[in-house]
């Protein structure tokens, strides 16, 4: 099974275009594409946090918001989602690219 067989749309940068179509299975596929496997409880804590923030604001939270409010500090966040954690966690969580990310 692949993400393609799930009939989910992505933008040119690989972010889901409809966050409501996201599932934990899709998260697993996207994490695998990002080289983040297996997803641990700490990964899920961040993913659940960003999805919750998105549900409130309609936007992917910034790196600063994640590190200030999720209970995961900057060092751990970079260990969990190396090389661009805000962007990677947003992608795995089925959200759009966070504002301010290049």
The rounded distance, in Å, linking the Cα atoms of 80 and 78 is 5
Give the percent of the chain with pLDDT over 70: 91
Q: Of 3, 8, 26, 101, which one is the catalytic site residue?
A: 101
Give pLDDT, residue 100.
Answer: 67
Give pLDDT, residue 1.
Answer: 44
Q: Output the six-digit token pair for 1.
A: 């099974």
**Known catalytic residue at 101:** yes
The rounded distance, in Å, linking the Cα atoms of 63 and 75 is 12
pLDDT tens for each residue of 28-61: 999 999 999 999 999 999 999 999 999 999 999 9
pLDDT tens for each residue of 16-31: 999 999 999 999 999 9
Q: Which residue has the tokens 């749309």?
A: 9
Reported pTM: 0.91
């Amino acid at each position: 099974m692949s993400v393609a067989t799930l009939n989910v749309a992505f933008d040119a940068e690989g972010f889901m275009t409809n966050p409501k179509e996201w599932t934990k299975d899709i998260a697993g596929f996207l994490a695998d594409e990002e080289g983040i496997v297996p997803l641990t409880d700490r990964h899920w804590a961040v993913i659940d946090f960003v999805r919750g923030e998105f549900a409130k604001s309609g936007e992917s939270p910034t790196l600063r918001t994640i590190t200030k409010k999720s209970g995961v500090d900057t060092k751990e966040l970079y260990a969990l989602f190396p090389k661009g954690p805000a962007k990677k966690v947003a992608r795995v969580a089925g959200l759009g690219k966070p504002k301010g990310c290049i």
